Amino acid sequence: MIQSRFILIRKSCLVVVACVAWMAFSFGVGGPGPAAGYQLAFVKIDGSTNMNTFSLHFNQLLNCIPGAQSATSGDSDNQGLSRFEIPVRAIQGNPPMLVADFRSMLNVSQYPTIIIEMDTNELERLRMGDQGRKINFSITMNGIRRYYSGSGTVNKYGEEGSASLTGQISILLSDFSLEPPRKMLGIIKVKDEVNISFKVIFTDNF
């Protein structure tokens, strides 16, 4: 009799556990729902010398890394920063000789990544269609972090409502204590100002 009651209680507990698990799976109880995410689709660096132009690029999908809390946002729902770490050795371009000079200029052995950080709250507002909002972000090269502000454009495409953010900014290499490369005994000089364009993909639908 005692054994029969024990088996009955055990079966009842298993039924309750199964029901709770089904509810959690069906309604998302007890676990996070789909999270918004971002991927860096490409970064392009365009510059010029006193004789011609050059272009460097990073064309690999790169997932964002949740970063530190944003010190510039006063929102109570602050989600911090979305961080992208670009391997300097993965940057390609033309002419190839300039790519090698670029990596050397960035002290790749000591600082192997270029870091871009964007305010996640601002990315979310852009995702929701606030096209007029400025986006604040930082770029870290050669171990030096600089802050920038610019406008971004959200482009929607495809039947599933996929979207991406594109933008660009002009920076000075000297702001990162970088000395532009020189060639042919200094005859060819890379100009201090370069343009950086980027594309961020929103990895869930609107």
Range of the domain at 16: 1-31
* pLDDT classification of 131: cutoffs 50, 70, 90: low
Same domain (yes/no): 73, 163: yes
Asked whether 124 and 82 are in contact (CB, 8 A), the reply is no
**CATH assignment of the domain containing 118:** 2.40.128.110
pLDDT tens digits, 134-154: 788 899 999 999 999 877 788
Same domain (yes/no): 48, 136: yes
Same domain (yes/no): 20, 58: no
How many domains does the chain contain in total? 2
Same domain (yes/no): 95, 194: yes
Q: Which residues are paired to 63 by β-bridges?
A: 39
Same domain (yes/no): 144, 174: yes
Share the mean pLDDT of the chain. Answer: 74
Task: Kindly give, in sequence order, each residue whose CB lies less than 8 Å from that of residue 119, ignoring residues fewer than 6 positions away.
Answer: 70, 72, 73, 81, 82, 135, 136, 137
pLDDT tens digits, 46-81: 999 888 888 999 999 888 887 555 444 444 344 688
Same domain (yes/no): 18, 68: no
